[in-house]
Amino acid sequence: MTRTKNELQSLELLGQGHHDYPSTYSPDILEAFPNKHPGNDYMVTFNCPEFTSLCPKTNQPDFATIIINYIPGPRLVESKSLKLYLFSFRNHGDFHEDCVNTIMKDLQSLMKPRYIEVKGIFTPRGGIAIYPFANYGDDKYKEMAKKRLFDSLGN
């Protein structure tokens, strides 16, 4: 099944050679495309090992691997727009927990997934590592979301 030009028309970033990276938090840069398999439950995983943000108090950089897992609903996130969106956090001052929840909520709003989870594996600073985890499940996946939330405690 080939995608139609109409389906691909809204994806403005894909295929552009050079793109300026956003210098501030930019949720508007996220793009999505229709799920061609809405009857299937399947998992999509993104592993983003070069995430950076700033401590809102000290302005020191924080480094993390962000792992995003989701079961698509009607739409999927386009990966180049996701990359640029995650880069938009580089000059954004927020605590680790806020970054992870913001990413989850922005993607949830964009795609309306059946299930989504975002985990941040932040590099230790000051001798403490922080691994925030946020997730959401629709009616079908509500129990799984609760189980995954508490399973994440073992990291």
Catalytic-role residue among 55, 94, 98, 138: 55
Q: 3-class DSSP state for residue 128?
A: strand
Rounded to 5°, the CA angle 141-143-146 comes to 110
Is 55 a catalytic site residue? Answer: yes
Single-letter residue type at 153: L
Check if the beta carbon of residue 47 is closer than 8 Å to that of residue 112: no
Which residues, 6 or more positions from 89, have their beta carbon under 8 angstroms from its beta carbon? Answer: 25, 51, 52, 53, 99
Catalytic-role residue among 28, 41, 62, 98: 62
Give catalytic residue positions.
Answer: 55, 62
